[in-house]
Copies of this chain bind each other. A is one copy, B any other.
Amino acid sequence: MKILTAVSSLSALAQESRLQVFRLLIQAGKNGVPAGVIGEKLDLPLSTLSFHLSQLKQAGLVACRREGRTLFYSANYKAMNALMAFLVENCCQGQPDNCTIPAECVPEVKGKQK
């Protein structure tokens, strides 16, 4: 990953409304959520939401597909994983105990089962 790609992903996430949107989509799963429903859940004016969604989309962190009049937005899990991998790249040199990665999504790591 290029550093500027990472910067634009991080910039996209570095804003309260967008971070809320992204976490909502991460939790919603790959089917995604209609824009209107996101706006309702987060109580955002649709023009504002649309601006934020386009930032997230441009950064490659979310995708969207149309179904009828409705646009479903969904999280791009691969992009998120790539970003996290980039952030901690080579973090273990010499001291692997410093930087165990959060294991929320990795079954069977260090005795944690999910």
Contact = CB atoms under 8 A, between A and B. Distances in A.
A22 B90 CA distance: 12
A45 interface: no
A89 B16 CA distance: 16
How many copies the complex holds: the figure is 2
A87 interface: yes
Contact of A89 (B23, B75, B106): B23
Interface size band for A: 35 or more
B100 A105 contact: yes
A104 B80 contact: no
6 contacts: A4-B16, A23-B86, A81-B99, A96-B107, A106-B106, A106-B110
